[in-house]
Amino acid sequence: MTSVEAPRNGAGEVELFRGLVECSQDAILTKTLDGRITFWNTAAQRLYGYRAAEVVGQHIGLLIPPDLKDEEAGLLERIGRGERIEHYETRRATSDGRVLDVDVSLWPVRTREGVIHAACSITRDLTDRKKAERELVELYAQQRHIALALRLMGASEQIPGARAATRYLPSTQGQGVGGDWLDLIDLGAGRVGVIIGDVMGRGLDAAVVMGQLRSAARALALAGTPPCELIQTLDTFTRGLPEQFVTCTYLEADPALGEVTACSAGHLPVWLIAPDATVSALPVPTGIPLGVGGVPHQEVRLPLRAGTTLALCTDGLVETPRSDIETQLGLLTTTLSDVFRTSTDLEDAADHVLHTLLPDTATYSDDVTLLLVGFPTAPLDTAAVDLAGEPSSVPEGRRFLHRTLRMWGLTALADTAMLLASELLTNAVCHARGPLTLRVWYSVRELGVEVVDGSTPRPRARLADNAEENGRGLMLVEALADAWGTRPDTVGKTVWFTLLTAPAPAVVARPAGVAAGARGRAETVGVPEPAS
């Protein structure tokens, strides 16, 4: 756009120029450098509601809202310096008091001698466009809020004793939220459930499916459903959803047993970072995605060393338009190894992984989800005894528990622990198949007592009638234990309870010949028995 001069070649060209200006659909006016209006076309009259006779000679401030009064002086000052101002978005007032969103372009008007003596302004009404933009922004915000609410529904809890760092970067395309989710679940008795999943696609549809699957998975995990059964149930559930492609991995970590049980439905590998910073993929069969059906998923039980960290992610971290996924997986392995050689801080490690795999970018074509979790350290000690499935095992188990708690310096918990253990053992003797195993462990946070039997039906608390002599045992456990529950075992089931421990008890020296975690008879612990 060039500076404007008055036409040089006679009145005919002036009239032609005025005719063109009058035909313009944009409001055109000229004004002096002190803001007095000198020209006003028909489109300006339509836009602002003033006739030319009403405004020519008036100050341009007539059209400026009160909160923008200082704006015009700055614009005219720039015009006086010879600047051109193009597509400046602002607001202007009409004769009936309405305020319009407008796009203004201004440029200097020069005399034949090149002296700037006025400014020409072209104004276009943006009110309808701005209104549509605001409505779109509001709609986007509403949809994003719904999608985020679905993702955050049942937000992951803090697991006592567990270290975790999570990163979620929503896609910058579309509605900004997709179907990625992760969850950490306190399963009780020192065990931790971890799930990560990805509903293919983006937007509200993917987020709705993700919210359903996450809620279902959390409920199944808290009910003690083992990984393979949980994945199979989600598979059946997903088959009822239209055209969904979902991958996910669920694993349970049991630091007391030093093992992790995992099942995958077509998801990316889980990386295991050993205490020496060695990184390897957890050998879990990949399986097929949820909703496909026809092929059973496989569960594996693997050792879990104390101090191990697991890394889980969705494909947004390793699958980008500019790189090969295998190359990115290799880079992730190398990055995890490098960062854990120098630091065990999971937050720093998560930041380093994102910076390395997704450098110098603020845009993501897919959701990016990363989870680093260091499981609670192994218990300070464990002990176990095998018992027959007969009534005499109840006092035998109670004596074993009392001796063990004395040895660990936890006698303050002995009365409650023995009472509840008696109830679990009595239930197992009366309603389950033997042999039984009584296992005890403790950490800096809690004492755990578990009874393993050979029957699969799980007990549940119930309200007994006044005339019944039994049926109150589990209600007692529920009332006195800090937590209790049941879970399937390899040969039957485990019923457990936990009691919070006092601060860091002193450990009494173990008698010679008794190994940590040994599964022995009660007689192997050389501590006097209490009266039964």
Render pLDDT for 296-319 as a digit per residue (tens, 0 to 9). 899 999 998 888 999 999 988 888
Confidence bin at 152 (pLDDT 50/70/90): low
Distance CA 508, CA 341 (A): 35
Is the separation of the CB atoms in 477 and 424 below 8 Å?
A: yes
Least reliable range by pLDDT among 4-8, 163-167, 222-226, 393-397: 4-8
Q: Tell which wins on pLDDT, 509 or 246.
A: 246
Confidence bin at 1 (pLDDT 50/70/90): very low
CA dihedral of 227, 230, 236, 240, whole degrees rounded to 10: -130
Number of Cβ within 10 Å of residue 65's Cβ equals 13
Write down the pLDDT at residue 269.
Answer: 94
Least reliable range by pLDDT among 57-61, 67-71, 266-270: 67-71
Write down the pLDDT at residue 526.
Answer: 31
Confidence bin at 199 (pLDDT 50/70/90): confident
Q: If we measure between CA atoms, which residue out of 58, 53, 47, 44 comes closest to residue 72?
A: 58
Least reliable range by pLDDT among 144-158, 215-229, 337-351, 418-432: 144-158
Task: Say yes or no to pLDDT of 176 above 70.
Answer: no
Distance CA 367, CA 346 (A): 21
Q: What are the φ/ψ torsions at residue 65 (nearest 5 degrees)?
A: -60, 155
Share of the chain above pLDDT 90, in %: 48
Is the separation of the CB atoms in 525 and 381 below 8 Å?
A: no
Write down the pLDDT at residue 394.
Answer: 94
Distance CA 403, CA 415 (A): 12
Distance CA 78, CA 472 (A): 87
User: Which amino acid makes up residue 312?
Assistant: L
Task: Say yes or no to pLDDT of 467 above 60.
Answer: no
pTM for this predicted structure: 0.65
